[in-house]
Amino acid sequence: MFFTTSSLLALLGSTLASPVERATTPKVIDNCTKKGTVALTFDDGPYKYEQDVVNALDGGKGTFFYNGDNYDCIYDRADDIKALYDAGHTLGSHTWSHADLNKLSESEINEELEKIETAFVKILGVKPLYFRPPYGNLNDKAKKVLGERGYKKIFLWSDDTEDANGASSGSSKKVLDGVAKDYPNPHLVLDHSPIKTTSQKVLPHSVPKLKAAGYSLVTVGECLGTDESPYKKVGSPQKKDSSWKC
């Protein structure tokens, strides 16, 4: 068979591109896989209720997907973030400003991610490798950028308490009651830590029910049965200075 130079280059390009793309494109996760586990995840923080959420988990572990400048400036909550990190909760990226990635250019997506990553490095000395897209919106362009930046997994969810959409605490409780009744099937639940009723009413009701049903409340990594790190170590935590602002 005869190949022209251009056709041979095209063939080589297509052959080489696919493995690279497969190796760098983060996997999109919409549910846990390990039986008997529930991953309660909390978006849109940090805010003043982070510790209340942790207390309501009653020894369970949560996953928190943080913005840089949403309900509060991430730098103003550095102590809370360090406490959650040290306690073994998983912290991930949710963009800097809760931006809809589908509406951004590639350079704008990079800027959103760069700013939140910089905050993680300054506060914790690590870069997050787990990501949740605001509104659950994620196109191929965004996945490409996330892959190029080294993200390992993109997390959606299997169950939504709708707390950020104005759902009553009773409605959110019903969602988690349904999860408790589904033991031992795994669940990946979307909550929002800045919503006061989540930590004050919903979790105090639902966490004991989930545990009584037999569920372990674990991080997203644990509910997938993986021991990979959700972070890339980048030096050491830095001392607060004038650059710590939103």
Residue 160 annotated in active site: no
Q: Where are the alpha helices (DSSP H) in the chain?
A: 5-24, 50-57, 78-86, 106-124, 140-148, 169-180, 196-197, 203-213, 220-223
Report how far residue 135's alpha carbon sits from residue 5's, in angstroms, rounded to the nearest whole number. Answer: 46
> Which of the following is catalytic: 89, 94, 187, 192?
192
Q: Is the pTM of this model over 0.85?
A: yes
> Which of the following is catalytic: 43, 69, 80, 159?
43
pLDDT digits (tens, 9 = 90+) for 52-84: 999 999 999 999 999 999 999 999 999 999 999
Q: Per-residue pLDDT averaged across 108-123, rounded?
A: 99
Read out DSSP for 101-167?
GGGS-HHHHHHHHHHHHHHHHHHHSEEE-EE--GGG---HHHHHHHHHTT--EEE--SEE--GGGT-
Residue 92: φ, ψ to 5°: -130, 175
Residue 192 annotated in active site: yes
**Token pair in block for residue 221:** 């990594």
Confidence category of residue 112, pLDDT binned at 50, 70, 90: very high
The pLDDT score that the predictor gives to residue 144 is: 97
Q: Per-residue pLDDT averaged across 163-172, rounded?
A: 98
Polymer length in residues for the chain: 246
Residue 63: φ, ψ to 5°: -125, 130
The answer to whether residue 196 scores a pLDDT higher than 90 is yes
The pLDDT score that the predictor gives to residue 24 is: 80
Class in CATH terms, 20-233: alpha beta
